[in-house]
Chains A and B, each alone.
Chain A
Amino acid sequence: MTKSRIFWGIVAPTAAIINSLFFVYIILKLRGVEPIEMFKLMVSYGFDPRNLVSEINQTVAYYMAGVAAAIGFKMLLFNIGIDGQYRMGAFFGAVVGAAVNLPPVLHVLLIILVAMLAGGAWAAIAGYLKVKRGVNEVISNIMLNFIAAAIIAFLLSPNLLGSLPEGSQNLQTKPIPSSGQMPTIKAFEGEIYSFLFIAVVVGIGYWIMLNKTVFGFNLRATGLSFRAARASGVNAPRMIFITTVLSGAIAGLVGIGTLLSDTHSYSMAFPSGYAFTGLALALLGRNHPVGIFFAAFLWSFLERSAPVLEFEGVPPEIVIVMQGTIVLSIVIAYEVVARINLRQQQRAVGSANSENQIPVAEQVKETK
């Protein structure tokens, strides 16, 4: 049973990726470009060591967003607020990190903790509104994303928490001292953020929490059936609130790798759009920590290798088309797999029943 689950878990995303490649193949063909050549070019560019390093660093950020989304998905929550939560986490992590002086490891841990608290607290607003007021989390989170961006823009003004370094047009927080910075690992002529290890810890922790603990069981049970969980003794509304906060806390870590290993301060240049990406990655990786990792890497890889297409006269936006078709295909592929699985199981149940039945049925025939 588990073997077939792993098998289908790999077949579905592979089929989705092939399907999307096929789609892009047709588009490229219509443009009169040789698709196979393009794919080859992307692969060789994407696996170039220097590019690989930045892909890994991007993967770490995407991974956090993916796990944050996955926690929400397990509860049937659509955490579109990852963007705002990530901004809050990175911003307050940067502000607190710059304001204190602590021994090296402790300093880093404090920043990570503050980032998680800030992200979690921001998500808690949506959680509270959902549980107590019945506000759909998608609506509140979209609003909260705007509000977070506005608050941070306001706080970044030079007379408050921001500063404008000489020769720069970019408002940013004060730099974090070296005790609060994370080292990088030199590899392939580049530098990999050591925050990578935190991501690994988060992934393992997520898996253990979900599959081994009573808390994780309650979380999944509430996601699978609110009513059954409630009848079983789970305080389901509270569970929804906690899950929302947890998802936000992980989202708070999305920008921390860049912050601690690269920029050392938060600025308006921190990218946006992590919410949609995170949701797509959780979907593609099927909420599984390993699956999300591969999904995150695939995303970074595609984005990094896109610019090379421009040299050949192909707009790099083709990568967005590819990502979009992957997500669309994966939704369909998983649905198909789920139906195949259920049918297989029902068949197994049916044949188990008929095995029990046949001898009895034969008896009937004889007595007739």
Chain B
Amino acid sequence: MVKKQVYMDHNATTPLHPEVKKAMIKGLEEFGNPSSLHSFGRSARKIVEDARQTVASFIHADPDDIIFTGSGSEANNTVLSIFACRTKLCVYCQKGTDEIITSGIEHPCILETSKCLQDKGINVSYLDVDRYGKVNIKQLKNMITEKTGLVSVMMANNEIGTIQDIKTIAAIVHQRGALFHTDAVQAVGKIPVDVHKLDVDFLTLSAHKIYGPKGIGALYVKKGIPFCPLIRGGHQEQGRRAGTENTIGIIGLDKAIEMRVKEMEKEEKRLFKFKAVLKKAIEEKIPDVQFNGHPTDSLVNTLNVSFEGAEGEAILLYLDLEGIAVSTGSACASGSLDPSHVLLATGSSAERAHGSIRISMGRENTMQDVEYLIDRLPKVIKKIRGMSTAYRKKVRKQ
């Protein structure tokens, strides 16, 4: 008998869309270097530029403003590195506007890079978030100074799904003369994104979160913004990112976005319903649960929930034995001793963070999948609580 498998960890990564897979298999024949002048090169160049057009129009940008990168992490690293290049000709260094502000709930590729820049002497400040994960706008207003070069706040959070009011934040940042970057890796392809309406200067996106391949991302850079490459040594991407273009990855990203344009709206409606059903069922069937993240301004595919007295890695692994894949904010699953920095930043107790799981659904999930999870999850929690010291104490107190 084939074991039932339900994948609900789409914020970690997504399976390839069948159409993407088809396009990539066909595209494997395309070996030419897009920089070559002969027919092989020209053929590859056309593919790359067509894809650039697709990416640009998806976020309402100009194709010239799109840089292909090796990942979302690389795009984020690139943006931060601009303000810490410390070369003689750097405009930000000359102007003395090289300080950075970001939030405490960013992806590690922003937070670790920020910490590294701090070690190099760059001033980095961190915005607080409220209990739903929304950044403190008032604090932002006070934090920006004439030395602030960049503010970077993610559009949608990968762990709790909270969506920030990017338009408001960007307006405040621009009012004070700084530049604004948003890591939109979890947002692009899940919610409509328009770089003009939002008025952002930099935006990061990634293919593998939207049913495309790993190893390809893109960075939007608004026209006229002084730029400094992270990877040097080639004229590719207008000299902004050296390295022969990843044609096969770019084909995958192109097709993934094409499919998002067709499917996004319909899928969001479906997932919205799934999330509501799931949330209601968890509330009804399992006592002592807490939902994490914003109740309404949140990705419709993401549900983050904490179970009192149950530890997250154990929940994850018992669900895995049932064929269900989710993730957890518990330290035990990460190899470190600290639970989710995102949940701690929202003011959650360490216990609530240790006992959290993230369910992130996607296009191939069905209502049967949701029902299967609803059937198994209460049993798993009951089993864990049955041997938990933390849950027994609570019952006793009542």
- Do A and B interact? no
Q: State the A residues within 8 Å of B (CB).
A: none
